[in-house]
Amino acid sequence: MNEEPEFEVAIVGYGPVGAIAACWLGQAGVKTLVVEKSRTIWDIPRAVALDHEILRVFQNIGVIEQVLPHTAPFGASEHYGAAGQLIRRIDVMPPPHPLGYLPNVVFTQPPVEAIVRERVQGHPSVTVKLGLEVVALNREEGSVALRVQDEAGNIETRTAVHVIGCDGASSTIRRLLDIPLEDLGFDEPWLVVDLVVNDGALAKLPQACAQYCDPARPYTFIIGPGNHRRWEIMLNPGEDPRLMEQEERVWDLLSRWIEPADGRLWRASSYRFHALVAERWRKGNAFLAGDAAHQQPPFIGQGMCQGVRDVTNLCWKLVSVLRGRSRDTLLDTYGEERKQHVSTLTGRIKEIGSAICERNPEAARQRDERLLARGGGSAFVATRQEIVPPLETGLICSERGPAAGTLFPQPWVMSPNGLTLMDEISGPGWRLFVDGRADLNWLAPETCGIPVVVIGSEGHQEIGGVVGTWFDRYRCKAAIVRPDHYVYSTVDEPGRLYDICCGLENRIGCAGASFAG
């Protein structure tokens, strides 16, 4: 492959993760090819939950106003023990909301996917090819060749500088790269059932999301948008997953709550809930993202969220390298950061899932006692946000305090055009956020080109105090924030800012241009 590649990035897979990657690259003007075998969006819901970090991504790629009508609040989830008693409550974070949105929502996936794809079509640098399947991949330094086959069996070759495999759990790209999956030790059979419930039958159902930790058969109940209700039902040993999908059997499983006249069966699909992570996330100029890189149990609704985090992390780094602002070694931090984050979160989800899936009655009784003891005699309470970890490694300045690796908040602020969210003013690039309540004379005259955003008495006036509270909590005067909104470092004393900025520029390379755009 001696010729210049046709594209800068090729994305294989056009589900929500691939489409969001295409949006990130398209709005940066990166010449991108998207290849997808299917010609249509799958018309049944798979993911059902999102968190505020992902809503912020939808804001940043310009689709949040279209997406929000397809969401609803994701309320607290109540966990019931073997004797039917409340043993744990996974609660919602109270306002003010740190990222500007409800911390957790449920959503309807097919229309949201359509909205993101429509946004992709508005980016002239992105070419989407449907009905094409990748059959071979050849990597060389500086380029990758994809052999793609259409439905008629015709084969052609497309070339790019980089390729991202967003092609799902059975990823062709992962197989062609010969990257094995590491088993994190969770493998359980479940049946996922989606119903559209009649208005008159809604009162029969629980009014909160619930997890029935019954050793005889665990159930999950989720309240989706509108009349959408989901059950996840653990299968017992010896039950045939295909037979359990049959409508008559599904209604039998739901008979403690509802009957066939009460709603329409949308889908019933059996799955094995896995905890798997790719051994490598980068192989030269090829990358894995989404389900191609990891699979995890669904017990706090983080599956799609993780895939969106993947491509949000990767795409700003690709843009920085492609535009000559950073060294290629920046791309090594993608897998380093995301694999650790996924592994830590999956471990926490697996702990929750193992408790839910306990089938031994005596062990289930002891589980219930432990959780009640943790709660001081009543149900133990945690929020979903407490379960999601910060970045623990990679491009963060960990010696600069506990805020490094956390998400920087997004306040509502007053602007000349009225009330707006901070990202609409600052953009999602590198930023130095400064506490405007402090003496600003300590600011170094040179910040290596990082744009400065002052929030407080001498800057943008925030509503709700989330940033002021954040600065107080971490006892700092400023924060250097990455394009994906994770904190690189905090600054708590005069004279340190310039050194930290220069140290960051040295880490990612290309003096004088690293933070442009």
For residue 338, what is the domain's CATH number? 3.50.50.60
The answer to whether residue 198 sits within a structural domain is no
66-95 b/e with 16+ CB inside 10 Å = b?
Answer: bbbebbbebbebbbbbbeeebbbbbbbbee
Q: Where are the alpha helices (DSSP H) in 38-108?
A: 52-60, 64-67
Task: Find out whether 513 and 325 touch, Cβ atoms under 8 Å.
Answer: yes
Question: Total domain count for the chain?
Answer: 2
CATH code, domain with 421: 3.40.30.120
Residues 111 and 54 in one domain: yes
* DSSP symbols for 345-390: HHHHHHHHHHHHT---HHHHHHHHHHHHHHTTTS-EEEEHHHHS--
pTM for the full predicted model: 0.95
**Per-residue pLDDT for the chain (517 aa), expressed as one digit of tens each?**
568 999 999 999 999 999 999 999 999 999 999 999 999 999 988 999 999 999 999 999 999 999 999 999 999 999 999 999 999 999 888 899 999 999 999 999 999 999 999 999 999 999 999 999 999 999 988 899 999 999 999 999 999 999 999 999 999 999 999 999 999 888 889 999 999 999 999 999 999 999 999 999 999 999 999 999 999 999 999 999 999 999 999 999 999 999 999 999 999 999 888 889 999 999 999 999 999 999 988 888 898 999 999 999 999 999 999 999 999 999 999 999 999 999 999 999 998 888 999 999 999 999 999 999 999 999 989 888 888 999 999 999 967 678 999 999 999 998 777 899 999 999 889 999 999 887 777 676 667 788 889 998 667 899 999 999 999 999 998 999 999 999 999 988 767 888 888 889 888 876 544 565 5
Residues 350 and 407 in one domain: no
The answer to whether residue 53 sits within a structural domain is yes
Residues 430 and 344 in one domain: no
The two tokens of residue 70 are 């397809």
Task: Find out whether 177 and 25 touch, Cβ atoms under 8 Å.
Answer: no
The answer to whether residue 263 sits within a structural domain is no
The answer to whether residue 261 sits within a structural domain is no
Kindly report, residue by residue over 446-478, the tens digit of the pLDDT: 677 888 899 986 678 999 999 999 999 999 989
Residues 18 and 144 in one domain: yes
Residues 127 and 20 in one domain: yes
Q: At CA 20, angle to CA 8 and CA 124, rounded to 5?
A: 50
Strand partners, 78: 89, 210
Show Cβ contacts of residue 290 under 8 Å, excluding neighbours closer than 6 positions.
Answer: 13, 15, 17, 18, 166, 168, 306, 307, 310, 311
Residues 149 and 60 in one domain: yes
The answer to whether residue 35 sits within a structural domain is yes
Task: Find out whether 32 and 13 touch, Cβ atoms under 8 Å.
Answer: no
The answer to whether residue 208 sits within a structural domain is no
First to last CA, the chain: 31
Residues 147 and 295 in one domain: yes
Task: Find out whether 335 and 281 touch, Cβ atoms under 8 Å.
Answer: yes
For 314, the 3-state DSSP assignment is helix
Q: Which residue range forms the structural domain that includes residue 447? A: 398-508
The answer to whether residue 346 sits within a structural domain is yes
Residue 445, judged by CB atoms within 10 A of its CB (0-12, 13-18, 19+), counts as: exposed
Task: Find out whether 414 and 457 touch, Cβ atoms under 8 Å.
Answer: no
Residues 159 and 19 in one domain: yes
Residues 403 and 332 in one domain: no
Residues 340 and 418 in one domain: no
Show Cβ contacts of residue 493 under 8 Å, excluding neighbours closer than 6 positions.
Answer: 442, 477
* DSSP symbols for 106-159: EE-HHHHHHHHHHHHHT-TTEEEEES-EEEEEEEETTEEEEEEE-TTS-EEEEE
Residues 334 and 477 in one domain: no
Domain end among 354, 387, 412: 354
Q: How far out from the chain centre does Cα 138 lie?
A: 30
The answer to whether residue 369 sits within a structural domain is no
The two tokens of residue 496 are 């340190």
Residues 28 and 157 in one domain: yes
Domain end among 319, 354, 389: 354
Domain end among 289, 320, 354: 354
Nearest-Å Rg of the Cα atoms of the chain is 24
Q: Which of 31, 1, 283 is nearest to 164 (CA)?
A: 283
